Amino acid sequence: MATLQAPQVGRGEAAFGHRLSSGNLICDLCPRFCELAPGQHGWCQTRYNRRGRLWSANHNWLSIMQFGRVESVPIVQYASGGIVLKLGSFGCNFIPQGERDAFGAEVGSGRSITPRDLANICLNLAPQGCIGAAFVFAEPLMWYEFLLQSAMLLKKCDMRVILATAGFVNIRPLQELLPYLDAVRFDLFAFDSAFYRNNMHISFAEVLLSLRSLALSDVHLEVSTPLLEGENDKPEDVARIAAYLAQNYGPDIPYHLLLPGGRPALDKMPPPDRERIMCCADAAGSILNRVYLS
């Protein structure tokens, strides 16, 4: 196998940071630009100041891994029927800290893994139909160093790399990752800056900038809206997102409405909730040509 050009970080050390004259560090991975005194962790809980150097607490740390079809990501217009390893670590830079217990995996669970381990697992499963890896749990961009190194190696092995993200990341890290991505599911929670500011404490403009960067790249892009009861699950909420997507990226962009618990849970919902979801799907479908309930 050819020698890989590894990212310029040591084992466990994080990329994208700079030092202030005070000795504190600024993390430059996402637009929060957390300022970290020695011993402090950032908002995402994955990046911290260790004796004046920026380190990644989840480097090479696997919290969850599943084996499933590409459609379960969900991605429906790319590599249909292919099998991927769906994986993730801990860490998130957009879910409010007080709500993280029910989101993704927690610090301390899981095991260590290396990018080469991941590539070997995918290659060994290739006879069973495995086409690569999908980084989908928590916020994979907060697992940046492992994600980038793994994506580089997987591409060398002719394996596919899929990412699910909410897109709250600075442009330079995203641009460095793009050549190694094949497909992205982009979570757009609302077309409303107040929603992002009040519910997620992040800048909506930065999210749209990431979406645009992906749309202008060669990466296969699908957009999804995780429906949150009482927050973004009205037909008019979904219609605003669909109208933006159609106007900027065309009516054929695949669009998913992600249901709590997935599609099977739809049949178990109380009739008023099920009707509201179907009205959301109808609202999106009146604007976009490829709408999916997932």
CB 196 within 8 A of CB 172: no
Token output for 110: 């899981």
Q: Distance between CA atoms of 90 and 104, rounded to whole angstroms?
A: 7
pLDDT at 189: 96
pLDDT over 50 at 241, yes or no: yes
Binned at pLDDT 50, 70 and 90, residue 102 comes out as very low
Binned at pLDDT 50, 70 and 90, residue 265 comes out as confident
Q: How far is CA 76 from the centre of its chain?
A: 16
Q: Distance between CA atoms of 82 and 93, rounded to whole angstroms?
A: 30
pTM for the predicted model, two decimal places: 0.91
pLDDT at 109: 55
Q: Distance between CA atoms of 253 and 245, rounded to whole angstroms?
A: 7
